[in-house]
Amino acid sequence: MFKQNLSQKLVQKLSPQQIQLMKLLQVPTSSLEQRIKEELEENPVLEEGENVVDDLYGQEDGPIDDGTEAPEREEEFELDDYLSDYIEDDPGSYKLRSGDYTSTEEDKTIPIPVQDSFQEYLQQQLQLLEFEDERQEIIARQIIGSIDDDGYLRRDPIHIIDDLMFSQGVSADVSEVEHWLQKIQRFDPPGTGARDLRECLLIQLRGLLEQEDLRLDDRENLELAEQLIDKHFESFAKKHFARLQKQLEVDESELRGAMDEIIKLNPKPASGHSSGNSGPIQYVVPDFIIINREGELELSLNSRNAPDLRVSEQYQEMLRSYRKRTNASMGQREKETYTFIKQKIDSARWFIDAIQQRQDTMYRTMYSIMRYQEDFFLSGDQRRLRPMILKDIADITGLDISTVSRVANSKFVQTEFGTKRLKDFFSESLQTQDGEEVSTFEVKKILSEIIGKENKRKPYSDEKLKDMLQDKGYNIARRTVAKYREQLNISVARLRKEL
């Protein structure tokens, strides 16, 4: 049964200007120029140059109420859509660009080196094979097309057969696919077309063993390495060296010789070749620059954050001329023109204001971070980083946490110790046994140093690392040690073991 009732609800809506500012705050400096270029192309009223906007609406009556609404290029958005938590961004998705940091230099195009892609390199070698008919060549080309950018064939023969039937109309069986795959696996670089790491290493080892000018010691090491990978790959992957010595009936020096040969192999055969969509070498463009002048820190925005934009004087003059006329004296086409110009001028002014607000918000946020982490910016020592969360900076600046998050996301600061990600300055705190709060960065730094100095024949377990950190005064649990170790991309003790 349906009922009708009245209810009151308080909902916050974001204006188009607020949405525009939020989007601009998320844009890193490297992408800001492109965003401004898009706005310049979209809005003919917006121009590059110093902003000198006259009072188009007069001092007394304010904006003209002509029945037209302000331009809304976006739908209305709920406030909750924008008050998201601090989201981890993917460095691989961060849009980078090359070039220096001054606006006075004219843009220069970086020459792109001409280089065959990995797929093209394999196709060139394919021409050296002898085929009885076009059908066999199609099968071989389909196999090459299924090899990924690492050089591996991760597609099963049965699926390649299906692809051949549906895309090429060619019927094939597993034995044919395996036959041509074996030929492709002899292509350069060694290891191409392997279906897993074990096969990749075996292909390379067997290729080396085919060389006739090998020294006896090298051949013995390679033969042992082949046997190790072929028959005892699981023990090799888990670094069970004692078990391997027993299974292979070799001593430590012989096993080390075989391991040395394996280490020389390439687990990603295609790593030395460019992908088909590779572009010029790219660099991080810092959003902020911090200079240490004899103990005094100076912060500046990258000049690309402060473009000169203005509203076209020509369009402003046109709007003044229309304003002097009454609605009755204007025809329908003139009214449409007047509305268009007014909307475009409003839009241009909003955009210029959003850029200026972006500069102010970014500077205030980075200045607060610089002062909060002043010891680090003066010394460059990561152990001097203080525990800092988004709320700390939000409280100092008076900005919303979501705004601070947008400023910190995908932004970089150039210091005398290198270019750093803003996100890297935010960390949780850990309490020492003396009750003092320290940054987790400090604990990770010490953890990394301890592991770096350990005896690789007997690496420390997480339990031992916990005890060592506690001896240094850090109140930490074993599971926390494991978490920090994983964040540092350090393997467990068993996988750190070396001969």
pLDDT tens per residue, range 399-415 = 888 888 888 888 899 99
Q: How far apart are CA 17 and CA 350, in angstroms?
A: 6
Q: How far apart are CA 39 and CA 349, in angstroms?
A: 12
Q: How far apart are CA 64 and CA 335, in angstroms?
A: 13
Amino acid present at 468: M
Q: How far apart are CA 482 and CA 461, in angstroms?
A: 10
- In this prediction, residue 1 carries a pLDDT of 56
Query: Which neighbouring-strand residues pair with 300?
Result: 289
- In this prediction, residue 54 carries a pLDDT of 47
Q: How far apart are CA 81 and CA 69, in angstroms?
A: 24
Whether residue 364 contacts residue 378, with contact meaning beta carbons closer than 8 Å, is answered with no
Q: Which two tokens stand for residue 414?
A: 């150039």
Residue numbers of the chain with a pLDDT score lower than 50? 52-114, 276-279
Amino acid present at 250: V
* Spatial CB neighbours of 362, under 8 Å, sequence gap ≥ 6: 25, 287, 288, 301, 305, 407, 411
Whether residue 16 contacts residue 73, with contact meaning beta carbons closer than 8 Å, is answered with yes
Q: How far apart are CA 331 and CA 337, in angstroms?
A: 10
Q: How far apart are CA 407 and CA 364, in angstroms?
A: 10
Give φ, ψ of 117 to 5 degrees: -75, 170
Q: How far apart are CA 358 and CA 22, in angstroms?
A: 9
Whether residue 280 contacts residue 121, with contact meaning beta carbons closer than 8 Å, is answered with no
CA angle 28, 29, 31 (to 5 degrees): 70
Query: Which neighbouring-strand residues pair with 274?
Result: 117
Q: Are strands 296-301 and 288-293 parallel, antiparallel or unpaired?
A: antiparallel
Give φ, ψ of 243 to 5 degrees: -65, -40
- In this prediction, residue 307 carries a pLDDT of 67
Amino acid present at 84: S
CATH topology of domain 428-499: Arc Repressor Mutant, subunit A (1.10.10)
For the packed helices 462-471 and 478-487, what is the interaxial angle rounded to 10 degrees?
Answer: 100
In the three-class reduction of DSSP (H, G, I as helix; E, B as strand; rest coil), residue 114 is classed as: coil
CA angle 92, 97, 102 (to 5 degrees): 140
Query: Which neighbouring-strand residues pair with 156?
Result: none
Q: Which two tokens stand for residue 314?
A: 């020509």
Q: Please, how many CA atoms are within 13 Å of residue 448, restricted to the half-sphere of its CB? A: 13
How do the domains of the chain map onto residue ranges? 14-106+278-427, 118-184, 215-272, 428-499
**Residue 202: left if φ>0, alpha if ψ -120 to 50, beta else—which one?**
alpha
Q: How far apart are CA 266 and CA 89, in angstroms?
A: 30
- In this prediction, residue 9 carries a pLDDT of 64
Residue 394's nearest CA partner among 361, 427, 360, 423 is 361
CA angle 225, 230, 236 (to 5 degrees): 65
What is the residue whose two structure tokens read 């739908």? 75
* Spatial CB neighbours of 172, under 8 Å, sequence gap ≥ 6: 139, 160, 161, 164, 165
Q: What is the dihedral of CA 368, 373, 377, 378, to 10 degrees?
A: 110
Give φ, ψ of 392 to 5 degrees: -60, -45
What is the residue whose two structure tokens read 């100092």? 396
- In this prediction, residue 14 carries a pLDDT of 54
Q: How far apart are CA 171 and CA 186, in angstroms?
A: 25
**Residue 402: left if φ>0, alpha if ψ -120 to 50, beta else—which one?**
alpha
Kindly report the pTM of this predicted structure.
0.52
